[in-house]
Amino acid sequence: MASKYNSEGYYDPTTYEALSSIEKEEHSLRAFRPIVYICSPYAAMSST
């Protein structure tokens, strides 16, 4: 998780907000992953 303070210990709200929004976006992309099954009526008719 992002820290509100930079490496020197000073408060840095701009970097904190930017890194927080990136983390939220990455989390939201992982949160919704629908499972899709593709079924074909021709799957059992292979000629090999």
pLDDT of residue 17: 92
36: confidence class by pLDDT, cuts 50, 70, 90: confident
Is pTM, for the whole model, over 0.95? no
DSSP label at 9?
S
DSSP label at 2?
-
Find all residues with CB under 8 Å of 9, minimum gap 6, and list them.
none
> Using one digit for the tens of pLDDT, what is the confidence trace for 8-30?
999 989 999 999 999 888 887 77
CA distances from 12 to 3, 4, 7 (A): 9, 6, 10
Instruction: Check: CB of residue 11 under 8 Å from CB of residue 4.
Output: yes
Domain ranges in the chain? 1-43
